[in-house]
Structure 1
Amino acid sequence: MSQSAAPPPTRPLDSAAIEVNDDRVGSSSRQRSSESEETTSQPVEVADDMSRKRVFAIWLSIIFGVMCTFLDEGIISTAIPRITDEFQSLSDIGWYGSSYLLTLCAFQLVFGRLYSEFNVNFIYLVSLATFHIGSLTCALSRSSAMFIAGRAIAGCGGSGLSSGTIALFAGALPPKGLPMYIGALGIVYGIAAVFGPVVGGLITNSYLSWRWCFYINLPLAAPPAIATLFFVRVRTPPTKHETKPAWTKALLGIDYLGMVLLVPSITSLILALEFGGAHYGWGDNRTIGCFAAAGVLLVLFAIEQWWMGEKALVPPRIIRMRAVLFASIFTFGLESAFLILVYYIPLWFQAVQGVSAEQSGVRYLPLCIAFIAAIFSSGWIVTKSGYVQPFMLAGTVLVSVGSGLMSTLQASSGPNRWIPFQVIAGLGIGASTEQPCVAVQSFLEEADAPIGVAVVLFCRNLGPSVFVSVANSVFARTLATEIGRLLPGVDPKLITGSGATAVRDLVAPADLDTVIYVYNKAVTRTFVVAAALAAASVFGLAGMGTRRIQVDSNAAPYQDADNPSMAETKNQI
C-alpha cells in the first residue's frame, strides 16, 4: 500500500554493472578454456565488490527516502481521528487521504518523463524537497484546508520519490534476483506500516500532539540527500534517442498539455465523488458539473495522448501492451481495497470500540505483520520460480475474503474475530502487491520498462485516490441517513461535523449505543467496498496469462507463451 515504487529489471547502467556484464562474457570463455578462467577471475571479484558498494549507497538513499512516504501513510491513519477533532472536519476525512493520493497519482507519469530526460539525482532531490515542504505545511496547518493543501504538496513530492526509486534501482541492481530486491523494499514498507500506526498513536496521545507526526519526517531527509549528492551516480534511464537533448529542448518537449488535461480531470472526478457522497447529493448541479468536466477532460486527454504519440505522457503503444494493461487493472482494484482498509480499520477501533489512537495502532498490527511475512516469502518464491500469477490470485481471493469478513464486525467483536480477519487480508495484500510491477518490468524492453512501470504506479495511485473518496461517501451517507432514521431528535450534522473520537461526548448517554451502532454500520460498509474492489481485480489477473518472468540475468528475451507471434510487439493488443 502502500506507495513503494518497484524498480524495473533493466540492465545496470554504471561502470560496475558493465564489469558484471563483462563477467558474463568471461563465464562463457571459462567454459572453453581453463586459461581464460584464470585471466578473468580477478576482475570478477572487483566488479562484485564495486557492485555491492553501489547497491549499499543506493539502498541507503532509497530506504530513508521512501521511508518518509511509507511512515507518512501509516502514521496518519491513527492521527486522523484527532485531526478531525481539532479542525471539526469529519466530513473532510476522505480528503486527508485523497488529496495526497490525487497528486501522487497525477504527477506519476510526469516524473516518469522527467527522470527519462533529465539528471536522476537532481530530479530526485527536488522531489525529496517537495515532499518535506508538504510535510512541514501539514505540521504548521491552522485549518483543514491548509492541512489538505500540505497533503497535496507532499503527494507531488512522493510521486517523484516513487519514480526516483525506479531510476535508482535501474542504475545499479542486476536483473538476477530482482523480485527479492523488490520484496526487500516491500519489507521496508511493511516495517513502516507496522510501526507507523503505533508511532502515530504514541505521538498523538503525548504532549507533542499529532503535528509531530509530520515534523519527524524532516530529519529523515538528510541521509537520502547526502547519499544522492555524494555517493549515488546513476545515469538517466535509457530512451530510444541515441543522445539526450539539451535542457531547453527537453523542457520544451515535455507534454505540458497532457499534464494540464490530466490533473484537473482527476481533481474534478474526486470533487464529484466528494460532493455527491458527503456534501450536496448526486443530483446536485455541482456534482453533475464535476462529473461532466472530468469526462470531457479525460476524453481530451486520451485524444491528446494519441496525437502526441511517442512524446505523450503515456505513449499509446505502451497502453496497448497486454502486460501493462492487465497489470494496471489488477493493481487498480487491489490497491484501492488496501488503502480503504488502511484508513478505516483504525477508525473502527477508535470510533466504534472507543480505544485510544495508540491502542488502535497496536490492534492494527495483525494486518501489518501478515503483510510483511507474505511479501518476503512471495518475493523469495517468485525469484526461484519465476511465476507471479499464483500470488496475484492469492491476493484477489484473500483480500476479498478478509475484507468481507471485516464487514461482519460488530461493536462487541473481540480479538478472536478482528485478528484473523486482518491476517487474511494482510496475507493477500503482501503476496500480490508488488507482482504487477515485477511482471511489467520483466516483460518490457529496457527502454520501455520505466514508462510501463510508471503506468502501473499511476493506476496503483489512481485507484485509491478515487475509491477512498467513494468509501468516504459511503461512510458519510450511511452515517447521516441512519442517524436521521434511528435518532430523529439528533441533528445528523452534529455527528458528521464532529471528530470521530468526540462523538461519545456529543450525544446523551441513552443515545450512545445507537450512535455506536450507526458508526459501526457506516465503517463496515466501507469494507464491503474493499471486498468488491479486491474481487474485481481478478479481471486484471485473467489477462496476465501463464507467462514466466525473467529471474535470471542470462535469460532469453521475453516470449509470449500464449501467443509467440506477438513476441516482437511485446504482447501489444
Structure 2
Amino acid sequence: MEPTPVAAAATTPAVAGTTTPVPVQEKGSCAPSPAATAETCGDRDLAQEKTAEVLEYITGLKLLAVMVAVVLAAFLMLLDISIISTAVPRITSDFHSLPDVGWYAGAYQLASSCLQPLTGRIYTEFSAKWTFLIFFLVFEVGSLICGVATSSPMFIGGRVIAGLGSSGLMNGAMTLVAGAVPLAKRPLYTGLVIGIAQVGLVCGPLIGGALTEYSSWRWCFYINLPIGGVTAAFLVMTHVPDITEKPPFTLALLRRVVPELDLVGFVLFVPAAVMFLLALQLGGQAYAWGSAQIVGLFCGAAATAAVFVGWEWRVMGDRAMLPGHLLRQRVVLMSVVQGMFVMASTTVASFYLPIYFQGVKGVGPTLSGVYMLPSILTQLLLVVVSGALISKIGYYLPFAVFGGVFNSIGSGLLSTLAPGTETAKWVGYQIITGAGRGAAMQICIIAIQHALQPAQIPVGMSAMIFAQNFSAAILTVVSATIFTHNLGAEIAVRAPSISPEAVSAAGASGAAVHALVPPDSLPEVLEGVLQSYADSFDRVFYLVTACAVMTFVAAWGVGWKDTRQKKTGTVQQRGDGAA
C-alpha cells in the first residue's frame, strides 16, 4: 500500500526550525488513511497535536530564542513575587504600613488569580505568542507604577496591575513550550523553565536585599523593564507554533469569543474574593472580629461566592471559568490541590524568613538574602534534577511524595526558630525544606499536561495557576493577620512598655525593631521584643507546615503514568494514555 501524505511525513526527519511541507488536515475532517484512522476521526485535537509534533515543533536557534524569552518572562513573574520579601521591612518602615504587608503580596496574587481562569479561554482561541506579549506588557506597566509609588495605596495599586499582567504569563509560558516541543520532551523543558524561573522566586530575597541596601527598594521593580525589553524582542522576532490550529485575529472572532469568556463569573468572583481578604486583614486590627463591619464582609463574601458557584454550575457548565468536567478528573483535581499548597507554602515562607533574619537576628537586607541561600540553592537544584529524572524514568508521583515529606519536615523544623537558634540548625532546616519544594514544584504541571487533550491544556493550566495564586493570596493575608495579631499580644506581655501602635509603625527592618527599645531600657525589654517577633514568626510557620502536609496528601492522587514517548507504527503518540 502506498503511504499516505501524513504517514510519509511521519517518517521524514524534521529540519531544525522549519516545517515539513505536508498538507495539514482541516478541522473537522478525517483523512482516509491508515494513520488518520488510527488517530480516530473524533479526536481532532489529538490529531492536530500529532501533526504539529511531526511538522511544526521548532529546534535550534529558534527554540533557543523562544526558551530564553519564556524563561526570562517566567523568571520575572516569580521574581516579582519574592523580590520584595527582603525589601518589605524597609517598605513598611518608609510607608509606616506594617499592617499592609499582607497586601503587598496578596494584592498581586489576588489580581492574578481573579483573571487567571479567563486566560485559559483566551489562549485557547487566540495566538499564544501575541496573547503572551500583551499580558507581559501589562505586567511591565504595573512594575513601573510600583517603582515610582509615593504611598502604600499607590504601591498596592501597582501590585494589582502587575498581578493582572502576570495572570497570563506562567500559563502562557507552558502553552508556548507545549507548542514548541513534542510531548515526550516537555518534562525536561518544563523542568528547565520552572527551574530557572524558580531562581527568581528563591533568589528574589537575595536580589531584593542587595538592591534595597545598596541602592533603593524601587529598583526591585525597575529591574523588570530592561529584562522585559529583551524578552519581548526575542518573542517578536521568532515564530512560535500554537499547540492547536488558531484562526487569524479578526473583529468577528473577537465578537464570537468575548461571550464565551464568562465575564459574569469574573465580575461575581472579584468582589467575593476582595471582601473575604478585607475581612481577614481588618479583623482583629481595625475592627473587632465580631463587629458589624467584619461580619458584614464575611457574609457579603459568602453570598457573592454562592451566586458565583450557582452561575458557574447551573448556567455556564463546561464553559465556566473553572470547568467542572476537568476538575471532576481525579488527576487534574489532585494536581491542582498539590500545586496550590506548594505555591502557598513557598510564597508565605519567602516573605517571613527575611522578617525573622532582619527583625529577630538584626541583619541587613542583603545578608538576610544570603541567609536564605540554603533553601534557594537546594530548591533550584531539585527542580532541575527532578525534571531531568522524570524525563528519564518516566514517573513523577515518587517526586511528589518525596517533596511532600521533606517540605513538611523542614517547615515544621523552621517553626521552632528562636532568637538564639544556632546557624547550623536554620541552615539545615532550609536545606530540607528546599529539597521538598524543589522536587514537588513542577509535578502539578507535568501531571495536567499528560492528563488532558491538547485543546484542554490551556484551560487546565489556568485552573491550576488560578488555584496557586488565589491560595497564595489568601494565605499571605492570613499569615499577615496571624503575625500582626500575635505580635501585638506578645508585645503586651513581654514588653508592655512598647505600644502596639509603635510596633505597627516601625515595620520589620532590623534597625526599626531595635529602635523600638529606648537606649536606657533594661536588656530584658529588647529580649522581650525579639522573642515576640520570633514567636509570631513561629505561628506563621505552623500555617506553612499545614500547607506542606497537604502537598503530601494530594501527592498520592496525581497519577501513576509513564511520561516517556511512545510510538505506534510511524505516528508519534501522546504517551499519556488519554482517550
For 2:155 and 2:419, how far apart are their aligned partners in 1?
A: 31
Find the counterpart in structure 1 of residue 529 from structure 2.
515
Find the counterpart in structure 2 of residue 43 from structure 1.
none
Find the counterpart in structure 2 of residue 352 from structure 1.
360
Is residue 2:553 matched to residue 1:543?
Answer: no
Is residue 2:320 matched to residue 1:332?
Answer: no
Alignment of 1:89-108 (within 5 A): 89-108=97-116
For 2:75 and 2:135, how far apart are their aligned partners in 1?
A: 14
Residue 492 of structure 1, aligned match among 480, 500, 517: 500
Contact 1:57 1:232 in 2 (8 A): no
For 1:528 and 1:552, how far apart are their aligned partners in 2?
A: 44
Find the counterpart in structure 2 of residue 415 from structure 1.
423
Find the counterpart in structure 2 of residue 167 from structure 1.
175
Is residue 2:203 matched to residue 1:203?
Answer: no
For 1:280 and 1:416, how far apart are their aligned partners in 2?
A: 42
Residue 252 of structure 1, aligned match among 256, 259, 263: 259
**Deviation of 1:94 (Å):** 0.8
Alignment of 1:220-231 (within 5 A): 220-231=227-238
* 323 and 17 in structure 1: CA distance in 2 versus 1, 3 angstrom threshold: farther
Alignment of 1:411-490 (within 5 A): 411-490=419-498
- The DSSP-based 3-state class of the residue aligned with 1:537 is helix
For 1:389 and 1:288, how far apart are their aligned partners in 2?
A: 42
Per-residue CA shift, 1:99-156, capped at 9, x if unaligned?
1111111111111111112232332222111111111111111111111111111111
* 534 and 17 in structure 1: CA distance in 2 versus 1, 3 angstrom threshold: farther
Find the counterpart in structure 2 of residue 271 from structure 1.
278
Find the counterpart in structure 1 of residue 10 from structure 2.
none
Find the counterpart in structure 2 of residue 506 from structure 1.
516
For 1:443 and 1:19, how far apart are their aligned partners in 2?
A: 28
For 1:519 and 1:20, how far apart are their aligned partners in 2?
A: 66
**Deviation of 1:258 (Å):** 0.9
Find the counterpart in structure 1 of residue 541 from structure 2.
527
Contact 2:205 2:350 in 1 (8 A): no
For 1:293 and 1:358, how far apart are their aligned partners in 2?
A: 43
Alignment of 1:7-86 (within 5 A): 19=20, 51-86=59-94
For 2:118 and 2:487, how far apart are their aligned partners in 1?
A: 38
What TM-score comes out, normalization by structure 2 length? 0.85
**Deviation of 1:278 (Å):** 4.1
* 224 and 496 in structure 1: CA distance in 2 versus 1, 3 angstrom threshold: same
For 2:259 and 2:15, how far apart are their aligned partners in 1?
A: 28
Find the counterpart in structure 1 of residue 49 from structure 2.
none
Find the counterpart in structure 2 of residue 38 from structure 1.
none
Contact 1:275 1:286 in 2 (8 A): no
Q: Which runs of 5+ in 2 are unaligned?
A: 1-13, 24-33, 36-53
Letter in 1 for 2:390: V
* 497 and 172 in structure 1: CA distance in 2 versus 1, 3 angstrom threshold: same
**Deviation of 1:194 (Å):** 4.9
Letter in 1 for 2:221: F
**Deviation of 1:414 (Å):** 2.3
**Which is worse superposed, 344-353 or 330-339?**
330-339
Contact 2:410 2:430 in 1 (8 A): yes
Find the counterpart in structure 1 of residue 40 from structure 2.
none
For 1:109 and 1:499, how far apart are their aligned partners in 2?
A: 35
Contact 2:408 2:548 in 1 (8 A): yes
Per-residue CA shift, 1:474-522, capped at 9, x if unaligned?
1111101111123333221211232212121122242111101101100
Find the counterpart in structure 1 of residue 8 from structure 2.
none
- The DSSP-based 3-state class of the residue aligned with 2:184 is coil
Q: Which runs of 5+ in 1 are unaligned?
A: 1-12, 23-27, 30-45, 560-566, 569-573
What TM-score comes out, normalization by structure 1 length? 0.86
- The DSSP-based 3-state class of the residue aligned with 2:301 is helix
For 2:283 and 2:550, how far apart are their aligned partners in 1?
A: 23
Alignment of 1:127-146 (within 5 A): 127-146=135-154
Aligned pairs, number = 526
For 2:58 and 2:476, how far apart are their aligned partners in 1?
A: 44
Per-residue CA shift, 1:342-397, capped at 9, x if unaligned?
11011100000000000000001100100011111111111122211111111211
Contact 1:117 1:236 in 2 (8 A): no
**Deviation of 1:97 (Å):** 0.8
Find the counterpart in structure 1 of residue 287 from structure 2.
280
* 82 and 386 in structure 1: CA distance in 2 versus 1, 3 angstrom threshold: same
For 1:513 and 1:319, how far apart are their aligned partners in 2?
A: 50
**Deviation of 1:184 (Å):** 0.8
**Which is worse superposed, 263-272 or 405-414?**
263-272
For 1:254 and 1:171, how far apart are their aligned partners in 2?
A: 22
**Which is worse superposed, 520-529 or 225-234?**
225-234
Contact 1:442 1:550 in 2 (8 A): no
Letter in 2 for 1:73: I
Per-residue CA shift, 1:388-438, capped at 9, x if unaligned?
111111121111111110111111112111100000000000000100110
Letter in 2 for 1:98: G
Find the counterpart in structure 2 of residue 42 from structure 1.
none
Letter in 2 for 1:524: D
For 1:298 and 1:492, how far apart are their aligned partners in 2?
A: 35
**Deviation of 1:551 (Å):** 4.5
RMSD: 2.8
- The DSSP-based 3-state class of the residue aligned with 2:533 is helix
Q: Write out the 4+ residue segments of structure 1 that deviate beyond 6 Å after TM superposition.
A: 46-49
**Deviation of 1:262 (Å):** 1.6
Letter in 1 for 2:230: P
- The DSSP-based 3-state class of the residue aligned with 1:177 is helix
Contact 2:198 2:380 in 1 (8 A): yes
**Deviation of 1:191 (Å):** 2.8
Contact 1:255 1:312 in 2 (8 A): yes
For 1:145 and 1:104, how far apart are their aligned partners in 2?
A: 18
**Deviation of 1:266 (Å):** 1.6
Per-residue CA shift, 1:55-95, capped at 9, x if unaligned?
11211221222222132223211111100110011111111
* 386 and 50 in structure 1: CA distance in 2 versus 1, 3 angstrom threshold: closer
Contact 2:354 2:368 in 1 (8 A): yes
For 2:201 and 2:139, how far apart are their aligned partners in 1?
A: 19
**Deviation of 1:16 (Å):** 5.7
Contact 2:562 2:575 in 1 (8 A): no
For 1:148 and 1:200, how far apart are their aligned partners in 2?
A: 18
Contact 1:131 1:154 in 2 (8 A): yes
Find the counterpart in structure 1 of residue 374 from structure 2.
366
For 2:246 and 2:61, how far apart are their aligned partners in 1?
A: 26
For 2:245 and 2:263, how far apart are their aligned partners in 1?
A: 21
**Deviation of 1:234 (Å):** 3.3
Is residue 2:349 matched to residue 1:341?
Answer: yes
* 166 and 486 in structure 1: CA distance in 2 versus 1, 3 angstrom threshold: same
Is residue 2:189 matched to residue 1:181?
Answer: yes
For 1:507 and 1:453, how far apart are their aligned partners in 2?
A: 49
